[in-house]
Each structure stands twice: as structure tokens, then as C-alpha cells.
Amino acid sequence: MAVMEKLGNASWIQQQDLDDPFKKYLNSTEDYLAFLCGPRRSHLSLPVSVVYALIFVVGVVGNLLVCLVILRHQSMKTPTNYYLLSLAVSDLLVLILGMPLEVYEMWHNYPFLFGPLGCYFKTSLFETVCFASILSVTTVSVERYVAILHPFRAKLESTRRRALRILGIVWCFSVLFSLPNTSIHGIKFHYFPNGSLVPGSATCTVVKPMWVYNFIIQITSFLFYVLPMIVISVLYYLMGLRLKKDKSFEPEEMIANIQRPSRKSVTKMLFVLVLVFAICWTPFHVDRLFFSFVEEWTESLATVFNLIHVISGVFFYLSSAVNPIIYNLLSRRFRAAFRNVISPSCKQWHSRNHPQVPPAQRNIFLTECHLVELTEDAGPQFPCQSSICPSPALTSP
């Protein structure tokens, strides 16, 4: 997103009359820099920074909890959850490494202080997580499709090891496809008409011909957003038809295996996840495509672009914070696991109410409690499912 800020400034440059700018801004280097690179500080830096700070806190805490829940609880180490773990890692990278740099550049747009390597890293980071996120969402949708329409095949093929191999491929492809856009970025310096360097003019921006950038953006937006979202939409449409057809059989299926998460419940959570993902990422790609297709910039086009750019930035980071909230609202498994990580209440309740139970038996009790919590999404209510701690009335002899 920080890259696009520079590109926004570049678009502003292109609409100016550059026949003889030096005469107009001869009296001030700062004014000349503002003419070339745009304002040094965004006029929306304060309100946007406040919003970003809130997103940062919610997103980092939530995604760390997701990682801890999946890594610490054996019952949560399912192929589907590994894809969600990949999303959480991607979101953490954006929030921890990308957002601080974005906020800094909103307050101090130039000069860029981190050199060519910093510029390459920043561009590569945003491109990689962009691709890894959409590919992770696509793979989890395909996995859910196979589980719904081909359950026996899914039982045989959908394993943790296979999920880890697929995720390795996803991240390798993401890094690989980030290289074209990264390679056309670099540090650009500006010069006075007499050939002398303008102090403090270093910016991280596109240093190759703009048609190359436009081509890369249009291709990658199609391959890594438009096409995957079409595929995902078709998959969830087919899953919806199948679940509607099998609706009458779901109660018998849940009674036959009470510890198996409801297919409809898991699919509903993933559908909401994909829908929110699409909503949050659409402004980001509209922003990039808008810039890549405009050839002749006018003041009105620049105003519209700047508005889209601010909205896309907020939604881009919001997508990194909203997933844990979705899991907590729609998945009993995640909700129970979150509570166990934040406050191990079962252990505290049992220590107060069963002081005479030997440690070995106490561990068995707690393990059973956690297993019931973490392996059910929907189905008959059991003592440990309705809340983190079992009710004394239900467990007393």
C-alpha cells in the first residue's frame, strides 16, 4: 500500500505542466519537492493513523491467538485450519512489518530512508502477502468443496502433510510472482534543471517505464484476484446446492458422529470469511487497476484516485484483523480454544472444586474437557460445550 502512495504522487506529477517548473519554484527547495513528489505529509495522516492503530492492536492480538490455538491444540491441527494458519501468518506480516512503514510514510512521505534493499523488501512484502492470502483462501475453498461433494476422497487425501506441502507451494509461488513488480521498483532521485540533486528527494517508486508496471498490475490482478474469486464463487455455489440437498440427512450424520464438526457450520464460517475477504480486497485492486488504466490525469481523476487510495488502505489492513473475529463468532471450536488460551478456566474451576482428586485423574478430566470443546462445532450440547467450565450440577456425584 505504501507503494501506491508513491504512485499516487507520480500520477499527480504527470498531470503537471513540466515545461519549466524551476522558474515557479525557484525560491524554495521544499516547494519544488512538493511540486515533484506531492505533499510531504498526508492531510489525513492523523485520523488514518488512529484507525490503523486500532486495527493493529485487534489484528495482532487476534492473529497471534489463532496461531497459538492451532499450534498448541492437537485437535485443531486439521488441514483446513492449516490454511487458516497461513492466512494468520500473512496478516501478521502485513500488520507488524508493513503497517508501521505505511504510517511513517503518511507522516513523512520522503525522503525514503531505507535504501534500495528497504524498497525491494517493502514492495516484495506487500506483493507476497497479497498473493499468499488469495491463494490460501482459494485452497481452503477447494478443500471444503472436496470435503462436501467428495467426502470419501477427502477423508483419504486431505491430510496435514498434504496441506503443509500445498502451503509450501503457495508461499513459493507468492514470492516468485512478487519478483516482477519488485524488480521495477527502486530509489528515484530528483534533480534541479541545472543538474544538481534535490536534497531529500529519494523516493521508493517505479523506476522502469510505466507501461511495464501497468501490464504487471493488470495481469496479476486478474490471476490473483478476479480469476480466484470466480472459481471460489462457483465452488461455494455448488457446495450450497449440495448442502441444501443433504439438509434432511444432517441430523442423522451429527448423531452418528457427535465429535465431527457440522459440515454446514464449517462451510458457513468459511463462506463468511471469503465474503469479507472479497469485500476488503476489492478496493485494493480497484486502486491498482484505476492507476494502471488512466493515461491522462485530470484534477477530478486525481481526487477520485486519492479517495479510493485512502479507502483501499483502511480495508486492506482491516482484512488482516477481521478473520479472528469471524472465527470467534461462527466457530465453537475456535471460540472454546480462544478461551482456553486466554483464561484456562477449566483448570482453575477444577482446582477449586476437586482438591482431593489425584493429579493423574485431574489431567484426564481436563484432557477430556478440552477434547470435547475442541472437536465440536455444532451438535448435541455436552457439559463442557455450553461453557468453558462444566456446571457443578452436572459433574457432582
State the chain's mean pLDDT as an integer: 74
Pick the CATH number of 2-333 from 3.40.50.300, 3.40.640.10, 3.30.2130.30, 1.20.1070.10: 1.20.1070.10
Most confident of 8-22, 145-159, 174-188, 336-350: 174-188
> Looking at per-residue confidence, does 256 or 140 come out higher?
140
Say yes or no to pLDDT of 27 above 70.
no
Most confident of 112-116, 240-244, 283-287, 373-377: 283-287
Q: What is the pLDDT at residue 28?
A: 66
Give Cβ neighbours of residue 361 (< 8 Å, ≥ 6 apart).
none
Q: What is the pLDDT at residue 361?
A: 43
> Looking at per-residue confidence, does 122 or 346 come out higher?
122
- Domain-by-domain residue ranges, the chain? 2-333, 345-395
Q: What is the pLDDT at residue 246?
A: 66
> Residue 173 forms beta bridges with which residues?
none
> Residue 205 forms beta bridges with which residues?
186
DSSP label at residue 15 = T
Q: What is the average pLDDT across 61-88?
A: 86
Please report which residue ranges of 94-226 form alpha helices under DSSP H: 99-107, 115-149, 151-157, 160-183, 210-221
Beta strands in 34-117 (DSSP E): none
Q: What is the average pLDDT across 246-262?
A: 49
With residue 362 as reference, give the H or E element that holds it: helix 359-374
Kindly report, residue by residue over 317-332, the tens digit of the pLDDT: 998 888 888 888 877 8
Decide: helix, strand or coil at residue 358.
coil
Count CA within 13 A, CB hemisphere, residue 177. 21
Show the CA angle centred on residue 379, arms to residues 376 and 381, nearest 5°.
Answer: 90
Q: What is the pLDDT at residue 378?
A: 36
Say yes or no to pLDDT of 121 above 70.
yes
Kindly report, residue by residue over 358-378, the tens digit of the pLDDT: 444 444 333 333 333 333 333
Kindly report, residue by residue over 264-297, the tens digit of the pLDDT: 677 778 888 888 888 989 999 998 898 888 888 7
Range of weakest confidence among 20-34, 139-153, 252-266, 364-378: 364-378
Longest dimension (CA), the chain: 92
| Angstrom distances, CA of residue 228 to CA of 133, 134, 238, 279 | 11, 7, 15, 14
Say yes or no to pLDDT of 140 above 60.
yes
Say yes or no to pLDDT of 57 above 90.
yes
How far the first Cα of the chain sits from its last, in Å, is 60
CB count in 10 Å sphere of residue 109: 22
Which grid coordinates are listed for 73? Answer: 491444540
> Looking at per-residue confidence, does 242 or 221 come out higher?
221
Kindly report, residue by residue over 174-207, the tens digit of the pLDDT: 999 999 999 999 888 877 777 777 777 788 888 8
> Looking at per-residue confidence, does 375 or 340 come out higher?
340
